Structure 1
Amino acid sequence: MSLPTTQRSTRTDRLLLTAAIDLSRLSPPAPTHYAVGALLADHTGTVLATGYTGETDPHLHAEEAALAKLTPTDRPVTLYTSLEPCTVRKSRPTPCTDLILTAGITRVVLALREPLLFADCHGVETLLHNGIEVIEIPDLGHRVHDINAHLFRP
């Protein structure tokens, strides 16, 4: 049974999530992973870092790429990610949900839960169980699906 997410999105949430989705278009298309974009913002909505799947390494996840760019003085509060953060990885030992929890992020805003194509992901549930506020904006999910359409074709 999946836990319900909160639905208190703001105008800023929609704008920054849209920017994360647009950023995912930079991800090199591949048959082995989703194209995902991520932004990290502080409490004022200022973007501190961005990342996308495969940005510097084919195995790099968007959230991981953005988190790696933070400076020691950055205080991210919200992660905007086009796709649900992973709980299972084949290419690295630490899933993105663990990286998010370690970074002290308190909110995650996403457009689409991970389809059952590569892994059985429980990112939303993991984050909620750890006290992270999760906001889904599902009416933007079709854009994420469209960007990853190459994975869903027979």
Structure 2
Amino acid sequence: MTSYTHDQKDLELMKMAITQANISEPVESAYCVGAVLVAATGEILSTGFSRELPGNTHAEQCALDKLPDIGLIENGICYTTMEPCSTRLSGNKPCVERLIAAKVKKVVMGIKEPPNFVECSGVDLLRQAGIEVLVVPGVEEECLKPNQHILQTK
């Protein structure tokens, strides 16, 4: 079951994540995703976008890796334009595992991961770990836009 958020602050932070996704360089083998990490205090800790850092990195991974201390995000929120991955074809640790290990309390996302590469079970795994997952309605088109290079060819 999908739970939605209509909080204006969630929409603003999702727009920031969408801006990050649009910076991501398109490649045929991966989506362009953006992420924003927010501390429990409401402070924006870091942002990230797909392939921002070396090593075929995902947006959430980049945002987490840029933190000076992973403990800063404990009980915080990850805003991401696309459902955090549960399977990595590259062999990297899935973003769901990273977010669970970082002890975030909530993930706010724009869209579910389209099934072009893998069947993603990120939402289910996050909820099983006790992490609240919410969807910002009305941003689907903006979240899919930087991924047209994949979605139009499949």
RMSD, aligned α-carbons? 1.4
| Aligned with residue 7 of structure 1, among 1, 4, 13 | 4
Contact in 1 for aligned 2:51/2:58 (Cα 8 Å) = yes
**Which residue number in structure 2 is paired with residue 91 of structure 1?**
90
Q: How far, CA to CA, are the matches of 1:95 and 1:111 in structure 2?
A: 18
Q: How far, CA to CA, are the matches of 1:83 and 1:143 in structure 2?
A: 11
What is the deviation of 1:83? 0.4
Contact in 2 for aligned 1:108/1:135 (Cα 8 Å) = yes
Q: How far, CA to CA, are the matches of 2:6 and 2:14 in structure 1?
A: 10
Structure 2 length-normalised TM: 0.92
Residue identity over aligned pairs, in percent, reads 34
Contact in 2 for aligned 1:55/1:65 (Cα 8 Å) = yes
- Is the aligned partner of 1:57 residue 2:45? no
Question: Which runs of 5 or more structure 1 residues have no equivalent in the other structure?
Answer: none
What do the CA deviations read for 1:44-71 (whole angstroms, capped 9, x no partner)?
3211011100102251000000001112
Q: Which runs of 4+ in 1 moved over 6 A?
A: none
Q: How far, CA to CA, are the matches of 2:86 and 2:134 in structure 1?
A: 17
Q: How far, CA to CA, are the matches of 2:131 and 2:50 in structure 1?
A: 23
**Which residue number in structure 2 is paired with residue 30 of structure 1?**
27
**Which residue number in structure 2 is paired with residue 74 of structure 1?**
72
Question: Which runs of 5 or more structure 2 residues have no equivalent in the other structure?
Answer: none
**Which residue number in structure 2 is paired with residue 128 of structure 1?**
127
